[in-house]
Chain A
Amino acid sequence: VTFADCPRERDLIDALTTGQWPDRCDDDIRAHVASCAGCADLAAVHASLAGAWDGTRAAAEVPASGMVWWRAQMRARREAAAAAARPIAVIQGVAGLAGLALALVCLVAVSPWLASVLASSRDFLALDVPDLRTMQGGWLLAGGAATLLLIASLAVYVVVTED
């Protein structure tokens, strides 16, 4: 269908919205609608749509404005609280992992049984992992690793809070 901008469309809309169409409007509008396909479409759909709309609007049961405002406030607060707590959760997770790693390093360093288990696993897996206790500067290396873990967790904290 080809679009045609009808100059009488405004008159017809006025007649439709004021309830003059079809009985109480001018004869020339009725004659025009009979000869104009676009206006005939408009007349056909307007009554159906307007009638259905009025029925729907009359049946509308909307919540009170205060209730909508209150729900929006509650939801916004929840979201703000969740956003504020997000860095804390991340930091707690990183701190927990760092603590776990440190505890493992300490356990390996002080427990002969765990060291032997790890050594047998190392043999079993045929891994050539150096023994920090027998290495020259091994304790220094372990301390360095622990410091690195602490610095990493601090770095994550700074990045997260800046975000």
Chain B
Amino acid sequence: MTTLRHTSLIITAACLGVGYLMASTWLLLPMLLVYGLYWFFTRKPAGGWPATVLLAVTVIFTTIGILAGVHVILMTIACVGALVNWDLTQFQQDRIGTISTVQSTSRETHHLQSLAWAALAGLALAILSAAIDLDFPLVIVILLVLISIVGVTNGLLLTEKRKKKDG
């Protein structure tokens, strides 16, 4: 699990680094500093918050990278890597209280399977969406975005309500 977490972190840093190098931007230095600090502080168990901070920072770095003209696939892979790293860190935190080793293995397998599906499907869809070149007027884009935001939020709230009703 730790190896997987470190691998995802290296992939994220590598994608960002290669992207920034290709765009020859000065952002490479702060990016390396952030990842170096993260590596330094998470050598010992430090709770889940450094991974959350790293996820948010990676999203900011990838956004800046796209705005700076870095290739979108590299940035998407970096984002997925950060997401996997964040997820595995949180899982390792939760695993401290696992009742038995048999239970631990069963949970771990199930979790890793779900994570692999989410990461691969997310990456594939993101690459696919980047490849499709659709040109909409801004008004329609805004309308679509609003519809999707309202849809997602309502969907989540509805699920919550249903669960409360069942409970």
Q: Do A and B bind?
A: no
